[in-house]
């Protein structure tokens, strides 16, 4: 009898096929950060307690909040992942990043609008740096599977 083996690489590629990922450095807490995004972009990021990530670390469980905004009448969904919890990281390979912004349905987002969003966010006084992250840079992709 042949063993069935999941091809995780194919699953990851498919899950990130229509996605863009941004890394943000900001010295503010996640609620304050999303409040600023909501005001500047006229979005409605809200914490999604059902999506909160629970990851077992060496000594304890770590919880990572996830904020979600679904654009009305669109397939575009924005997720903000807090990358830190009690000194541990959701994506340890990106320790310098405070927040991971995952935009699903990216092909439906006009490129000019995406550039405008980036420009507005970069100008926020709470944002020290914003950059694109290629999925290949992320070793722990499974933590972003929402």
Read off the pLDDT of each residue in 125-144 and give the average, rounded to a whole number. Answer: 91
What element of type H or E holds 25? strand 19-26
What pLDDT score does 20 carry?
94
Predicted confidence (pLDDT) per residue in 71-92, tens digit:
999 999 999 999 999 888 999 9
The CA distance from 59 to 95, in Å, is 19
Predicted confidence (pLDDT) per residue in 91-107, tens digit:
999 999 999 999 999 99
What pLDDT score does 105 carry?
93
Predicted confidence (pLDDT) per residue in 35-70, tens digit:
999 999 999 999 999 998 888 877 889 999 999 999
């Amino acid at each position: 009898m042949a063993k069935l083996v999941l091809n995780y690489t194919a699953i990851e590629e498919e899950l990130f096929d229509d996605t863009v990922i941004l890394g943000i450095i900001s010295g503010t807490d996640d609620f304050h950060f999303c409040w600023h995004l909501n005001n500047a972009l006229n979005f409605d990021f809200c914490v999604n307690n059902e999506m909160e990530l629970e990851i077992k670390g060496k000594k304890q469980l770590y919880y990572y909040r996830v904020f979600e905004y679904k654009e009305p009448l669109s397939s575009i969904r924005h997720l903000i992942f807090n990358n830190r919890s009690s000194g541990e990281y959701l994506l340890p390979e990106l320790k310098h990043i405070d927040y991971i912004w995952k935009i699903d349905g990216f092909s439906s987002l006009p490129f000019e609008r995406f550039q405008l969003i980036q420009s507005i966010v970069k100008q926020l006084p709470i944002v020290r740096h914003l950059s694109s992250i290629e999925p290949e840079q992320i070793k722990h992709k499974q933590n972003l599977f929402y």
